Amino acid sequence: MAGYILRRIVATIPVMLIVAVLVFLMLRLTPGDPAAVIAGDNANAEQIAAIRTRLGLDQPIVVQFFIWFGQILHGDFGESFFFKKSVAELIVSRLEPTLALSLSTILIAVLVAVPLGVLAAYKQGTVIDKIVMGFSVLGFSVPVFVIGYSLIYLFAIKLNWLPVQGYQRIADGVGGFLARLILPSLTLSVIYIALIARMTRTSVLDVMGEDYIRTARAKGQVERKVLFNHALRNAAVPIVTIIGFGVALLIGGVVVTESVFTIPGLGRLTVDAVLARDFPTIQAVILLFSFVYVLINLVVDLAYRVFDPRIRY
Amino acid sequence: MSTEPALLTDAAVPAPRPTNLFAGLARDWAVLFGAAVILVMIVIGVGAPFLGTVDPTEINPTFRNRVPGTEQTIRRADGTTATYRHWMGTDSLGRDVYSRVLYGARISLVVGAAAAAISIAIGLVIGLVAGYLRWLDGIVMRFMDGLMAIPAILLALAVVSLFRAGIVSVIIAIVVPEIPRVVRLVRAIVLSVREEPYVEAAIMTGTPTPLLLIRHVLPNTVAPLIVQGTFVCASAILLEAILSFLGVGIPPDTPTWGNIMAEGRGLFRVYPHNIFFPGLCLALTVLAVNMLGDGLRDRLDPKLAKRM
């Protein structure tokens, strides 16, 4: 078991290394002097020269990579010439809104999607099943920003129940924080609900034919307990996998949702950085999000054992 | 000989369904609906100039932000006047939203089709080679794992930040994140087909590798790739709209659904029509392509259909 965990952790290193190489190469693929590109449009010759020394641009490209990578391992992502701050500082200041949005989205999605999926599986072939599956296809197809603006229009403008846009830090009052978090989280959770509900349904359907389900029913177990204690517990592995896998969707959705709701998080930072061609920030954000994505999937893999003790390594 | 007949008989057998007859019927209804909507969108895109539109890029400062249905009297050069009704209103530059939405269908369809075709073509070649040449497999697949570890939108944003804004850079930005998914699919098919007796027989009779790949392996990838291509098309249409909406996609004066919505963002509270109409078209189109894909998957690829 310990050996497996170690092997699994070690296996993520080449993936992250390749991501780092890709992100590094990104700048070398642009035409022109990388130092000038990093410095931005308004830099003077002195600033460009400083960057050139810092990145060791006169060295061979492999050496340049290790200089750059070494700095990143020390938490030094460079300087954002657009925001006039160090990139690390910039990211830390944008962390809270994105974390709050992502966590509340995952919470809503799991709480809604898993019961929906179980219900659809239990009522397989009925109208309820078709409605859930129809919603699932719809959830994949309606763009995040269309959902976002529809919710704003209905709940903030027409009904005037919630604030239209913006973000309030949790330290400045929990009420305002939650009120501004509801609509973006609901918006972002739609695609996630679609994904998890579909996987839950399939996974529970697979399990429902097993002998132990018949045994549970034969011994007179109530149907609710058959579904949630026997079926869902055994169907958990694919569901947890898809939650981890769906984090990629979630990260993409964060970028769009933060723009729709004008939330000053990492997603908005990414778009602003791309618009300003602020490469140190773009590189840092991509590395960070990819690292989180890989890490979550690692945790999910390791969590299998908790959900399914039959899996032995 | 060719594996095609076997493939066709496989495809002709519908997926085994534990549900009643109506489920099968509903599936066909979904496919019909999907195909019909796509057809309508193609007609709209191709026929945009003939469907009562005006120049979608023409700016009219005196006729900005009109609600849907507003009539405008146009004075022609010869002194006569004509009335034009803005069915979907005008945007904050006075451009006709109806015309922009209709012309916008072109960009969405072209980007969707091009992204699907290009990512399938590139993914197919890399997948076939990786699946067959064992020594290359490890390197290629680690590289693909790395690409897949970067969430698609971020990868696309990174690509557009490198090039000048335009339809070509947007298509490249959409294709790059899709390629690893196609490569994985093709490679998995190659690895399973390699073990089939007819492939072993072909190897024994001395069929050269390129011929083996084209004649025996390639036909097995057709059905899954058609299905995959449909899903790539749907996500490409979405991703193009997202990039344009964020202001990093196709240049803002070009009428695309994403651009119309991006333009309408500022005054959304007062004039929601700029977001509503293109959003509806976008959602409908993506839904149609996804439904077509679901239907095709059930018909062409029963194994995958069962897994989903």
Is A300 within 8 Å of chain B by CB?
no
Listed residues A73, A108, A129: the one ending a domain: A73
A232-243 per-position pLDDT tens digit: 888 888 888 888
Shared domain for A98 and A54, answered yes or no, is no
- Give the count of beta carbons closer than 10 Å to the beta carbon of residue B206: 7
Shared domain for A165 and A298, answered yes or no, is yes
Question: Which chain A residues touch B251 with a CB distance below 8 Å?
Answer: none
Choose the closest CB to A248 out of B151, B160, B242. B151
Shared domain for A100 and A237, answered yes or no, is yes
Is B291 within 8 Å of chain A by CB?
yes
pLDDT surpassing 60 at residue B307: no
Shared domain for A53 and A103, answered yes or no, is no
Cα B232 to Cα B121: distance, rounded to the nearest angstrom: 12
CA distances to A105, A273, B16, B159, B168 from A30, rounded to whole Å, are 36, 16, 51, 10, 16
Mean of per-residue pLDDT scores for chain B: 81
Q: How many domains does chain A have?
A: 2
B73-108 per-position pLDDT tens digit: 776 667 677 777 767 777 777 787 888 888 889 999
Shared domain for A277 and A163, answered yes or no, is yes
Choose the closest CB to A251 out of B151, B238, B275. B151
Per-residue pLDDT band for B180 (boundaries 50, 70, 90) equals very high
Choose the closest CB to B161 out of A141, A259, A277. A277
Q: Are B64 and B95 in contact (CB under 8 A)?
A: no
Shared domain for A10 and A58, answered yes or no, is yes
Cα B132 to Cα B218: distance, rounded to the nearest angstrom: 12
pLDDT surpassing 70 at residue B22: no
Shared domain for A55 and A146, answered yes or no, is no
A84 within domain boundaries: no
Interface list for A 207-246 with B (CB within 8 A): none
> Which CATH architecture describes the domain B38-56+96-305?
Orthogonal Bundle (1.10)
A273-295 per-position pLDDT tens digit: 888 888 888 889 999 999 999 99
Q: Are B219 and B86 in contact (CB under 8 A)?
A: no
**Taking CB atoms and an 8 Å limit, are A256 and B245 in contact across chains?**
yes
A27 within domain boundaries: yes
Identify the pLDDT of residue B97: 81
A299-308 per-position pLDDT tens digit: 888 877 666 6
User: Which residues does residue B84 pair with via DSSP β-bridges, in sequence order?
Assistant: B72
> How many Cβ pairs within 8 Å bridge chains A and B?
138
CA distances to A93, A152, A160 from A169, rounded to whole Å, are 11, 20, 22
Identify the pLDDT of residue A306: 63
**Taking CB atoms and an 8 Å limit, are B282 and A270 in contact across chains?**
no
Q: Are A263 and B139 in contact (CB under 8 A)?
A: no
- Give the count of beta carbons closer than 10 Å to the beta carbon of residue B22: 11
DSSP structure string for B214-250: IIIIHHHHHHHHHHHHHHHHHHHHHHHHHHHHHTSSS
Choose the closest CB to B283 out of A142, A153, A282. A142
Tokens of B265: 């963002």
Cα A281 to Cα A274: distance, rounded to the nearest angstrom: 9
A211-220 per-position pLDDT tens digit: 888 888 888 8
Shared domain for A293 and A229, answered yes or no, is yes
**Taking CB atoms and an 8 Å limit, are B145 and A146 in contact across chains?**
no
A87 within domain boundaries: no
The identity of residue A16, as a single letter, is: M
Shared domain for A42 and A99, answered yes or no, is no
Shared domain for A211 and A69, answered yes or no, is no
pLDDT surpassing 70 at residue B225: yes
Shared domain for A42 and A122, answered yes or no, is no
Identify the pLDDT of residue A44: 79
CA distances to A21, A44, A279, B10, B164 from A37, rounded to whole Å, are 18, 12, 8, 54, 14
Identify the pLDDT of residue A305: 66
CB neighbours of B221 closer than 8 A, spacing ≥ 6?
B124, B127, B128, B185, B186, B189, B190
Cα A194 to Cα A205: distance, rounded to the nearest angstrom: 17
A212 within domain boundaries: yes
Is A164 within 8 Å of chain B by CB?
yes
A89-134 per-position pLDDT tens digit: 889 989 999 999 999 999 999 999 999 998 898 888 888 888 888 8
Distance (Å) from the C-alpha of residue B114 to the closest C-alpha of chain A? 19
A56-100 per-position pLDDT tens digit: 777 788 888 888 888 888 888 887 877 878 888 889 989 999 999
Question: Which chain B residues touch A286 with a CB distance below 8 Å?
Answer: 150, 154-155, 158
Shared domain for A99 and A42, answered yes or no, is no
A313 within domain boundaries: no
Q: Which helix (H) or strand (E) holds B303?
A: helix B302-307
- Domain span including residue A247: 93-307
Mean pLDDT, range A253-260, rounded to an integer: 91
Identify the pLDDT of residue B18: 43
Q: Are A101 and A256 in contact (CB under 8 A)?
A: no
Interface list for A 252-281 with B (CB within 8 A): 252, 255-256, 259, 270-271, 273-275, 277, 279
Identify the pLDDT of residue B124: 93
